[in-house]
């Protein structure tokens, strides 16, 4: 069994989340370097965005990372929204993402949220995530629409 700890990752420790977040968002300019990620965390702090991670024993870098925020929705009330969730490829299949979802669920309850929400893409690269979410008791409740404005 893999020994792990779960905890918040403060902005000054952003570098420990970078490898995982870069696997999820390789093209994002804010995953280009530790400074870029720190700048993103500073930019989004007023919006409530923050990181949490799973750490395997003896490892400084997070094996899995979630980015999340608390928001208020007319239809759902106070809600914990998960922007990002990823496990580094070499650490998958050890229960880290499942443990992180359980941590987020507990955090949402601690923060007095009524619901937990996330969006997930529909391609084959997200099928493992979809199994995870459905097994964790999340339901598919919406289609997400978007278009670029540039």
Ligand X SMILES: CC(C)(COP(=O)(O)OP(=O)(O)OC[C@H]1O[C@@H](n2cnc3c(N)ncnc32)[C@H](O)[C@@H]1OP(=O)(O)O)[C@@H](O)C(=O)NCCC(=O)NCCS
Q: Indicate whether 122 belongs to the interface with ligand X (CB under 6 A).
A: no
Question: What residues numbered 46-65 form the site for ligand X, per CB under 6 A?
Answer: 64
d(CA 112, CA 102): 15
Q: Of the ranges 6-14, 27-35, 45-53, 86-94, which one interacts with ligand X (CB under 6 A)?
A: 86-94
Closest contact distance (angstroms) between CB of 59 and ligand X is: 14
Give the whole-angstrom CA distance, residue 118 versus residue 76.
13
Greatest Cα pair distance, the chain, in angstroms, is 48
Q: How far is the CB of 122 from ligand X (least distance, A)?
A: 10
CA distances from 43 to 24, 27, 36, 62, 115 (A): 20, 18, 10, 22, 25
- From residue 6 to residue 45, the character string flagging contacts with ligand X as x (rule: CB under 6 A) and all else as - is ------------------x---------------------
CA distances (Å), 17 to each of 21, 125, 129, 135, in order? 6, 21, 19, 25
- Using DSSP bridges, classify how beta strands 4-9 and 115-118 pair: parallel, antiparallel or unpaired: unpaired
As measured in angstroms, the least distance from the Cβ of 66 to ligand X is: 9
Q: Determine if 102 is a binding residue for ligand X (CB under 6 A).
A: no
Q: Is 4 in the site for ligand X (CB under 6 A)?
A: no
Binding site for ligand X (CB under 6 A): 24, 64, 85-87, 92-98, 120, 126, 128-129, 131-132
């Amino acid at each position: 069994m893999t020994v792990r700890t779960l905890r918040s990752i403060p902005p000054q420790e952003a570098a420990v989340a970078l490898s995982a977040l870069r696997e999820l968002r390789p093209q994002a300019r804010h995953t280009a370097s530790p400074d870029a990620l720190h700048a993103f965390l500073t930019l989004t702090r007023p919006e409530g965005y923050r990181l949490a991670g799973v750490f395997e024993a003896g490892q400084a870098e997070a094996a899995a990372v979630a980015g999340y925020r608390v928001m208020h929705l007319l239809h759902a009330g106070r809600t914990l929204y998960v922007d990002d969730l990823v496990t580094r490829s070499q650490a998958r299949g050890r229960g880290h993402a499942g443990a992180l979802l359980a941590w987020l669920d507990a955090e949402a309850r601690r923060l007095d949220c009524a619901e937990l929400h996330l969006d997930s893409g529909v391609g084959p690269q997200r099928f493992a995530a979809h199994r995870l979410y459905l097994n964790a008791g999340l339901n598919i409740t919406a289609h997400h629409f978007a278009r670029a404005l540039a």
